Amino acid sequence: MTYALCLDYEREVPALRRIIDTSIKTQWTLADIDFEQKLSSDHYIRILEWQGALRSTYVRGLSDKKKEQLSRQFVAFDFSQILHGEQSAMMLAAQLVNCVEDLDAKIYASTQVKDEARHVETIRKVIRRIGPIYDVGPHLRQTIDHLINCHLWPKQVLGLQLFLEARALLSFRQHLLFVNDPVFMDSIQNIERDESQHVAFGIQYIARGIEAMTPEQREELVTYGVWLDRNIWSMTKSAEYRAIFEECDLDFDEFEAGYEKMSFLRPSTQGTAQSMKSIDAMHDTFHRWFYTALHRVGLSEVIERRLGRKLNEAEMADSKAIAPGALPWINHDYSVMRPTEGAERVTIKKLHAAPSRKKAPPAKKKR
Ligand SMILES: [Fe+2]
Ligand SMILES: [Fe+2]
């Protein structure tokens, strides 16, 4: 294994110092989350809207109790994949401590190892509250294998900080539109704060590695960026959900057979349409951000290869308009319709302030 020993103990990297200082001020522990809060029967059921499961006549015909059981398993499955991702992030961040050259980068990467360990513990507890921990999906497994065995640290940073972490942050926000469990919300909010710092670290530091690369290494990085962009939405295939139907003693084949691709005639149409609008808006914002981040770190070739042409000046300006560290899909308060409550329109912030919450979130300094 190669490593870099930093012998310059005086040199500081100001951008990384700022992230290190923020991370010291925003540290939290599992004791900040009250995992003992009671689980209610309506905390997870709306996730069936997002998963499109209600388009299946088979699922629509299930009892409310069975629907709630299935909805919890959808979240347990998704968060099992995130749990495997968090464990991989812990291992990858540990590898980064060896590889990066600046002392500040080593210090921050070691902070990230500890953060990821806390995420593993938190998400494990969140999942155990609602179901078993599901196996890792083949696509995610392939991505993890590739990153762990990679010899090029900027490629690891690209895969971990700019892709897996940002992708997990998108998934967190999308789940928050549908899940109403205060334990889930508190956990996600705490993890989100750390992950935004990890993404900022990746963006700040990867450019240094890219500058020092040979043309062959740069080509490898660009090819990898194109691969990530192509595969960015398909980490989980629908057939992998068979396991959750088995967990609920339900028939996955019947679910698929009763699946209506387009259905506008069911009671929750209005709510689903609004929710899907917010989901689509999050996807668009995320994709724009991802391209901006690639552009900022000097990998515009990834975008150009995907488009099959050079970026024009307007597109260059557009990609500079979004601050890569801003993570706009987190800061925007997306709305969602709640058909079960008289088609009331709520937003994620309002959901967080719902009276069902029994414990105030830990007092944290705002970032
Ligand atoms: Fe994490
Ligand atoms: Fe992270």
The confidence score (pLDDT) of residue 117 equals 97
Structure tokens at 11: 């040199």
pLDDT exceeds cutoff 70 at 318: no
Q: Global pTM?
A: 0.85
CB atoms within 10 A of CB 74: 22
Residue 35's SS3 state is coil
Distance of CA 151 to the CA centre of its chain: 25
What is the per-residue pLDDT across 77-88, written as a single tens digit (0 to 9) for each?
999 999 999 999
Ligand 2 midpoint to CA 88 (Å): 10
Q: Who surrounds ion ligand 2 at CB < 5 A? A: 89, 165, 195, 198
55 compared with 206, residue with greater pLDDT: 206
Mean pLDDT (whole number) for 269-296:
74
Ligand 1 midpoint to CA 191 (Å): 7
Q: What is the mean pLDDT of the chain?
A: 82
Ligand 2 midpoint to CA 317 (Å): 29
The one-letter amino acid at 248? C
The confidence score (pLDDT) of residue 5 equals 96
The confidence score (pLDDT) of residue 320 equals 64
Mean pLDDT (whole number) for 230-239:
72
* Separation of alpha carbons 19 and 29, rounded Å: 19
Ligand 1 midpoint to CA 230 (Å): 23
The confidence score (pLDDT) of residue 91 equals 95
Distance of CA 152 to the CA centre of its chain: 23
Sorting pLDDT into bands at 50, 70 and 90, what band is 360? very low
Structure tokens at 274: 């609004």
Ligand 2 midpoint to CA 357 (Å): 26
Least confident of 38-52, 59-73, 112-126, 142-156: 38-52
The confidence score (pLDDT) of residue 232 equals 67
The confidence score (pLDDT) of residue 79 equals 95
Residue 259's SS3 state is strand
Mean pLDDT (whole number) for 142-165:
88
329 closest CA partner among 289, 364, 293, 292: 289
pLDDT exceeds cutoff 60 at 169: yes
CATH superfamily label, 41-264: Ribonucleotide Reductase, subunit A (1.10.620.20)
* Separation of alpha carbons 291 and 318, rounded Å: 10
Ligand 1 midpoint to CA 123 (Å): 10
* Separation of alpha carbons 71 and 81, rounded Å: 16
Ligand 1 midpoint to CA 235 (Å): 17
Ranges of each domain in the chain: 41-264
pLDDT exceeds cutoff 60 at 339: no
Ligand 1 midpoint to CA 181 (Å): 20
- Calculate what percentage of the chain has a pLDDT beyond 90: 38
75 closest CA partner among 127, 135, 2, 17: 127
The confidence score (pLDDT) of residue 272 equals 62
